[in-house]
Amino acid sequence: EEALIAVAANFTAAARDIGAAFEAEGGHSVTFSFGSTGKLYAQIAHGAPFHAFLAADVARPEKAEAEGLAVSGSRFTYALGRLALYSPDPDRIGTDGAVALAADDVDRLAIANPVTAPYGAAALEVLAALDLTDALRARLVQGDTIMQTHQFVVTGNVPLGFVALAQIVGHTDGSRWLVPQDLYTPLRQDAVLLRAGADSVAARAFLDFLRGPVARDIITGYGYGLDDDGRG
């Protein structure tokens, strides 16, 4: 049996690995549809045939549950996003990212669109916590997704940017600062079983697998945190 899972774009790479491991276990296959959380939600609300939804935030799975689009009680946090400050320049960021942020030559700073992307909102919280909001507001460049934000930085168009740790975890180039978790609200990413998947054995099996140890290794391997007090 086949499970059709809608996955927030930032989780693309991890989801592929998890899917491969899940299928290797035998029994079921899984197909992913990647997109931004907002787009996926709009589709789910209008009859998309997805069995489960791996969002990039808590709000939309919650809303799906509340509106009867999802099987109530199936929601859980599958990953915690980790924010990182990144520069392709190996020397730009030292041990304290705040110093790099306060430097005079930061003519631009890339963040994700705080309205649509949770990572963007988190980045703003960090700036506020470091008291750099006023200094940097005029220099912010917004990527629509956290992926675009990353591209702004790696293509050299922007010297510094707040990206997801998942995006740079495998790379050793440039310099980075893992933003302390106390500077922003945790980036909970919730998954939920959708109404269309209520009777899908494969979808339930995949969600179970997602909570299992193999998947958790993969998730942490991509730099995500785990919700230790989660219901998983």
Partner 1 sequence: MATVVWLTLQLAAVVTVVLLVVSTPIAWWLARSKAPWKEVVGALVTLPLVLPPTVLGFYLLVAFSPSSPLGQAIEGVFGQGLPFTFEGLVVASVLHSLPFAVQPIRNAFEAIGDRPLEVAATLRASPWAAFWTVAVPLARPGFLAGAILGFAHTMGEFGVVLMIGGNIPGETKVLSIAIYDYVETLEWDKAHVLAAGMLGFSFTVLLAMRLVERRLGWGGQTR
Residues near ligand MOO (CB under 6 A):
8-10, 36-37, 56, 117, 145-146
For partner 1, the closer of residues 157 and 181 by Cβ is 157
For ligand MOO, the closer of residues 167 and 175 by Cβ is 167
Q: How far is the CB of 152 from ligand MOO (least distance, A)?
A: 15
Task: Find which of partner 1, ligand MOO, none residue 12 binds, CB within 5 to 8 Å per kind.
Answer: partner 1
Q: How far is the CB of 229 from partner 1 (least distance, A)?
A: 27
Torsion of CA 21, 12, 185, 44, to 10 degrees: -100
Q: DSSP letter for 88, please.
A: S
- Measure CA 165 to chain center: 9
Sites of contact with partner 1 (CB under 8 A)? 4, 6, 9, 12-13, 31-39, 41-43, 46-50, 60, 63, 108, 110, 113, 115-116, 140-145, 147-148, 150-152, 154-158, 167
Residue among 19, 54, 5 at smallest CA distance from 218: 19
Q: How far is the CB of 195 from ligand MOO (least distance, A)?
A: 21
> Residues with Cβ < 8 Å from 108, sequence gap 6 or more?
139, 140, 141, 157, 158, 159, 160
How does 13-38 read in b/e, with b if 16+ C-beta sit within 10 Å? ebbebbbeebbeeeebebebebbbbb
On the CB side of 191, CA atoms within 13 Å amount to 27
For ligand MOO, the closer of residues 36 and 87 by Cβ is 36
Q: How far is the CB of 227 from ligand MOO (least distance, A)?
A: 17
For partner 1, the closer of residues 98 and 119 by Cβ is 119
Task: Find which of ligand MOO, partner 1, none residue 8 binds, CB within 5 to 8 Å per kind.
Answer: ligand MOO
Task: Find which of partner 1, ligand MOO, none residue 115 binds, CB within 5 to 8 Å per kind.
Answer: partner 1
What are the DSSP E strand ranges found in 44-126?
A: 52-54, 76-81, 83-87, 109-112
Q: How far apart are CA 120 and CA 100, in angstroms?
A: 19
